């Protein structure tokens, strides 16, 4: 049972990394629906780099770098060119889906490097995730940088008038978000399940995106949501540990996705949005045009 | 951006004409083909032979031409599934899920009964496929309209749900598992195989007729106007009396129905298939070509026809060249990614005008030389 919990926490961390970066992105007013693509590219780049060099740290570095570059590309389209953020995000996702299938294909199979040691039985990435949640919360709500990020996402014109460079803040956030998405993909491909297959994420990025809405843009609620989904995901892979012989394993694999839909419905209902959903950045998804 | 004494700016285009849409589409496709040269870098006989292998198989061999036509029908129907909601400003990325639902619904008909005349069963299969896809699509449309639930997330969740639902039905003793028990669905009896028209499945006629009807719908009918108005500006459309619930539901029902028909075509009408194969996931991935086709066609169903044929040929030719020239797996997937990238780039050219402007030399204010009065 402890093993199951430890694996669940590691799975949670992957959701957490990706969603935390997206949360910061969205707090600044930029929506990146191509999160899954950034994770795929980050994971694939990390896997290829690690297998080629035999070094896990270099693998992680590659994953982080590629994620950051793709975040920057999304920023260029949505901030500088003021393009449709959904078009850019979808473009990144399909680009990553197509190219990683081709680029990663020669590396199909196990990574073949040693496993990353646990700390007291827990993945070190989970501990890193906890630290990141605390750091993001502190920066967002207790520092002037956080105030600048939140004001860029709420009312960019007012932020600009008060001396904040909305473009610079948004670029900072999309690069941070992309880097964390790359880290999430690399953690998946180098630690959680170090075996490369095409389109290996199968929806993790989209669940992470849903978690941001679920979190009401609060890092601590995001941590709770990611943990819940990590446990649920792990149980869907090993249902026999809780309910042996009940339903096909394929039916269990549907569960995390099936549960996400009613959660999305609940958080979208008017009473919920009125009471709890006021944290949604007012300018989310809207390009900012300097007046 | 400044370069020496010139400034480069992007200015929004007011209303790009249809010729400009065609031009940007051609640029996107040509650029993607040029970029795809890196996919063929390992070809021993050189780049030119790789491109020749792709095009000659798809468009100049009898077997390739038939396969290209069959695949282009599938891609066209998937294109409509994405295109109809897109005209209302909604993103239906649930094509794979709706295709899987349509396939399950179609094969439920012969699974339940084979007692009816074959003609009726075939009609029922077509209808069931459309209804199966429409129900799944309509579910996302309803949630979007009623609760403002993000349709991208819902349709993506449905993709995964129906991917595993098909696995449950056709693998490991599932109800639809074939007699060979090799992880694929049961085969249709010869009497239920779709009839052919001029050597191609009758679904080709459906796909082509739908292209004309869809463009007529959008340009000549009140419903089409409501969909387009909603897509342009939901608040303005609401102010004009258009009910968002109706529009979202209609476009997703219609889109889902087309995805269901694509499933019927792909699994029950293509000679040599006539079952849900074990690699059904590949066809779900292939449905994403429908997204890029609709985007490049800028929402025109008739305009999507040549693009779908080209992409069908390219995806088939790429897979053929991959085997012939021993290239890395995934050339067809990479091409999909490159097309998406060049579409986004061409989208910038479509939306904006690049303007070079000479920056006037800084006007130097004359320095006052006179002494202040007094």
Q: What is the pLDDT of residues B278-333, one digit of tens each?
A: 999 999 999 999 999 999 998 899 999 999 999 999 999 998 988 888 888 888 88
Cβ contact A100:A198 at 8 Å: yes
Q: Tell me whether residue A271 is in a domain.
A: yes
Per-residue pLDDT, B347: 81
Cβ distance A94 to B149 less than 8 Å, yes or no, reads no
Q: Tell me whether residue A31 is in a domain.
A: yes
Cβ distance A264 to B160 less than 8 Å, yes or no, reads no
Per-residue pLDDT, A2: 76
Number of structural domains in chain A? 1
Per-residue pLDDT, B316: 94
Q: Tell me whether residue A289 is in a domain.
A: no
A88 touching B (Cβ < 8 Å): yes
Which residues lie below 8 Å from residue A225, measured CB to CB, with a gap of 6+? A15, A19, A211, A214, A215
* Residue A177 Cα distances to A10, A73, A75, B48, angstroms: 20, 12, 10, 41
Give the domain range for residue B212.
52-324
* Residue B234 scores a pLDDT above 80: yes
- The 8-class DSSP code of residue B360 comes to P
Q: Tell me whether residue B44 is in a domain.
A: no
Question: Mean pLDDT, chain A, as a whole number?
Answer: 92
Max alpha carbon distance in chain B (Å)?
A: 114
3-state secondary structure of B356: strand
For residues B131 and B161, what is the distance between their CA atoms, to the nearest angstrom?
18
Would you list the DSSP string of chain A?
A: -HHHHHHHHHHHHHHHHHHHHHHHHHHTT---TTHHHHHHHHHHHHHHHHHHHS-HHHHHHHHHHHHHHHHHHHHIIIIIS---HHHHHHHHHHHHHHHHHHHHGGG-EE--SPPPPPBTTB-HHHHHHHHHHHHHHHHHHHSHHHHHHHHHHH-HHHHHHTT--HHHHHHHHHHHHHHHHHHHHHHIIIIIS-EE-TTTTTTHHHHHHHHHHHTTT-HHHHHHHHHHHHHHHHHHH-GGGTSTTSS-HHHHHHHHHHHHHHHHHHHHSHHHHHHTGGGS-TTTTPPP---
Nearest to B82 by CA among B67, B69, B97, B70: B97
The H-assigned helical ranges of chain B are 18-35, 47-60, 62-87, 95-112, 118-147, 151-170, 203-220, 222-232, 234-239, 244-264, 280-286, 288-296, 301-324, 331-351
Per-residue pLDDT, B368: 63
Q: Which two three-digit tokens encode residue B86? A: 């897109």
For residues A23 and A16, what is the distance between their CA atoms, to the nearest angstrom?
10
Nearest to B37 by CA among B53, B21, B50: B50
Which residues of chain B make contact with A98, given a CB cutoff of 8 A? Answer: 330, 333-338, 340
Q: What is the pLDDT of residues B93-136, one digit of tens each?
A: 999 999 999 999 999 999 998 889 999 999 999 999 999 999 99
- Phi/psi region, residue A280 (left: phi>0; alpha: psi -120 to 50; beta: rest), is beta
* Residue B58 scores a pLDDT above 80: yes
**ipTM score of the complex?**
0.89
* Residue B374 scores a pLDDT above 60: no
For A151, how many CA atoms within 13 A lie in the half-sphere containing its CB?
A: 17
Among residues of chain B, what percentage have pLDDT more than 90?
61
Which residues of chain A make contact with B143, given a CB cutoff of 8 A? Answer: 261, 264-265, 268
Per-residue pLDDT, B344: 84
Cβ distance B171 to A250 less than 8 Å, yes or no, reads yes
3-state secondary structure of B82: helix
Give the domain range for residue A65.
2-110+118-279
Number of structural domains in chain B? 1
For residues B341 and A105, what is the distance between their CA atoms, to the nearest angstrom?
20
B172 touching A (Cβ < 8 Å): yes
Q: Which of A90, A94, A264 sits opposite B154 (nearest CB)?
A: A264
Average pLDDT value for residue range A141-150: 96
Per-residue pLDDT, B1: 63
- Entry field: residues in chain A: 291
- The 8-class DSSP code of residue B195 comes to P
Nearest to A36 by CA among A96, A84, A109: A96
* Residue A247 scores a pLDDT above 90: no
For residues A127 and A119, what is the distance between their CA atoms, to the nearest angstrom?
9
Per-residue pLDDT, B365: 60
Residue B187: in which H helix or E strand, if any? none
Q: How far is B99 from chain A (nearest CA, A)?
A: 17
Cβ distance A198 to B331 less than 8 Å, yes or no, reads no
Distance of CA A134 to the CA centre of its chain: 16
Chain position carrying tokens 């496929």: B129
A183 touching B (Cβ < 8 Å): no
Cβ distance A254 to B160 less than 8 Å, yes or no, reads yes
Cβ distance A86 to B348 less than 8 Å, yes or no, reads no
Which residues of chain B make contact with A254, given a CB cutoff of 8 A? Answer: 160-161, 164-165
Cβ contact B84:B214 at 8 Å: yes
Cβ distance B148 to A268 less than 8 Å, yes or no, reads yes
Q: Tell me whether residue A287 is in a domain.
A: no
For residues A67 and B136, what is the distance between their CA atoms, to the nearest angstrom?
33
Q: Tell me whether residue A205 is in a domain.
A: yes
Per-residue pLDDT, B20: 84
* Residue A273 scores a pLDDT above 80: no
Angle at alpha carbon of residue A49, lines to A43 and A53, rounded to 5°: 150
Q: Which of B160, B231, B299 to mutate to test the interface with A (most CBs of A within 10 A)?
A: B160
Which residues of chain A make contact with B156, given a CB cutoff of 8 A? Answer: 203, 206
Q: What is the pLDDT of residues A17-48, one digit of tens each?
A: 999 999 999 999 999 999 999 999 999 999 99
3-state secondary structure of B368: coil
Per-residue pLDDT, B40: 82
Helix axes A204-214, A219-237, angle to 10 degrees: 140
- Which residue in chain B has the smallest CA separation from A41? B337
- Which residue in chain B has the smallest CA separation from A254? B161
Q: Tell me whether residue A290 is in a domain.
A: no
A247 touching B (Cβ < 8 Å): no
- Residue B356 forms beta bridges with which residues? B8
Domain containing residue A274: CATH number = 1.10.3470
Domain containing residue B56: CATH number = 1.10.3470
Per-residue pLDDT, B244: 76
Q: Tell me whether residue A284 is in a domain.
A: no
Q: Tell me whether residue B7 is in a domain.
A: no
Per-residue pLDDT, B269: 96
Q: Which of B153, B338, B339 to mutate to test the interface with A (most CBs of A within 10 A)?
A: B153
* Residue A228 scores a pLDDT above 80: yes
B233 touching A (Cβ < 8 Å): no
CB proximity under 8 Å: A 105-124 to B: 105-106
Q: Tell me whether residue A196 is in a domain.
A: yes
Q: Tell me whether residue B259 is in a domain.
A: yes
């Amino acid at each position: 049972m402890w093993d199951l919990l430890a694996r669940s926490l590691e799975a949670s961390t992957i959701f957490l990394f990706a969603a935390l970066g997206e949360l910061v992105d969205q707090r600044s007013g930029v929506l990146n629906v191509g999160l899954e693509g950034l994770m795929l590219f980050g994971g694939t780049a990390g896997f290829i780099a690690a297998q080629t060099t035999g070094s896990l740290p270099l693998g992680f570095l590659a994953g982080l770098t590629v994620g950051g570059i793709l975040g920057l590309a999304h920023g260029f389209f949505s901030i500088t060119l003021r393009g449709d953020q959904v078009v850019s995000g979808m473009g990144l996702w399909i680009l990553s889906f197509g190219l990683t299938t081709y680029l990663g294909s020669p590396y199909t199979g196990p990574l073949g490097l040693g496993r990353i040691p646990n700390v007291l039985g827990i993945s070190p990435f989970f501990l890193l995730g906890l630290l990141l949640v605390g750091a993001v919360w502190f920066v967002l709500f207790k520092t002037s940088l956080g105030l600048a990020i939140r004001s860029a996402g709420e009312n960019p014109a007012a932020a600009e008038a008060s001396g904040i460079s909305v473009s610079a803040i948004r670029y900072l956030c999309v690069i941070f978000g992309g880097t964390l998405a790359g880290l999430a993909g690399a953690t998946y491909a180098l630690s959680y399940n170090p075996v490369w297959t095409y389109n290996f994420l199968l929806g993790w990025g989209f669940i992470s995106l849903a978690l941001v809405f679920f979190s009401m843009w609060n890092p601590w609620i995001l941590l709770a949501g990611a943990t819940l989904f990590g446990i649920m995901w792990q149980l869907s892979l090993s249902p026999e540990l809780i309910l042996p012989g009940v339903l096909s394993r394929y039916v269990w694999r549907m569960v995390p996705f099936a549960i996400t839909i009613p959660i999305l419905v609940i958080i979208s209902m008017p009473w919920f949005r009125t009471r709890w959903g006021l944290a949604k950045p007012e300018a989310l998804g809207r390009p900012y045009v300097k007046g | 951006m400044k370069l020496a004494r010139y400034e480069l700016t992007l200015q929004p285009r007011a209303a790009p004409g249809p010729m400009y849409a065609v031009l940007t589409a051609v640029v996107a496709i040509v650029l993607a083909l040029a970029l795809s040269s890196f996919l063929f870098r390992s070809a021993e006989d050189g780049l030119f032979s790789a491109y020749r292998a792709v095009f000659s198989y798809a468009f100049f061999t009898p077997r390739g031409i038939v396969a290209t036509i069959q695949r282009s029908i599938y891609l066209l129907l998937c294109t409509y599934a994405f295109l109809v909601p897109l005209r209302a400003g909604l993103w239906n990325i649930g094509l794979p899920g709706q295709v899987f639902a349509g396939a399950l619904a179609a094969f439920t008909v012969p699974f339940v009964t084979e007692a009816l005349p074959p003609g009726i069963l075939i009609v029922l299969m077509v209808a069931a496929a459309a209804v199966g896809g429409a129900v799944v699509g309509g579910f996302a449309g309803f949630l979007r309209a009623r609760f403002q639930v993000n349709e991208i997330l819902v349709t993506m969740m449905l993709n995964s749900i129906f991917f595993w639902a098909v696995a449950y039905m056709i693998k490991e003793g599932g109800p639809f598992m074939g007699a060979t028990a090799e992880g694929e669905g049961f085969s249709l009896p010869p009497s239920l195989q779709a009839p052919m028209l001029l050597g191609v499945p009758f679904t080709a006629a459906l796909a082509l007729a739908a292209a004309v009807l869809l463009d007529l719908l959008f340009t000549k009918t009140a419903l089409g106007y409501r969909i387009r108005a909603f897509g342009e500006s939901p608040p303005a459309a609401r102010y004009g009396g258009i009910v968002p619930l109706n529009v979202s539901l209609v476009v997703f029902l219609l889109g889902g129905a087309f995805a269901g028909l694509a499933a019927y075509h792909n699994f029950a009408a293509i000679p040599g298939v006539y079952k849900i194969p074990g690699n059904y996931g590949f066809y779900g991935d292939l449905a994403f070509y429908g997204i890029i086709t609709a985007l490049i066609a800028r929402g025109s169903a008739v305009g999507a026809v040549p693009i779908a044929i080209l992409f069908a040929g390219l995806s088939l030719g790429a897979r053929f060249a991959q085997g012939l020239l021993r290239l890395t797996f995934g050339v067809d997937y990479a091409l999909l990614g490159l097309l998406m990238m060049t579409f986004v780039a061409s989208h910038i050219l479509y939306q904006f005008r690049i303007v070079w402007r000479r920056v006037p030399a800084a006007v130097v204010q004359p320095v006052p030389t006179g002494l202040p009065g007094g």
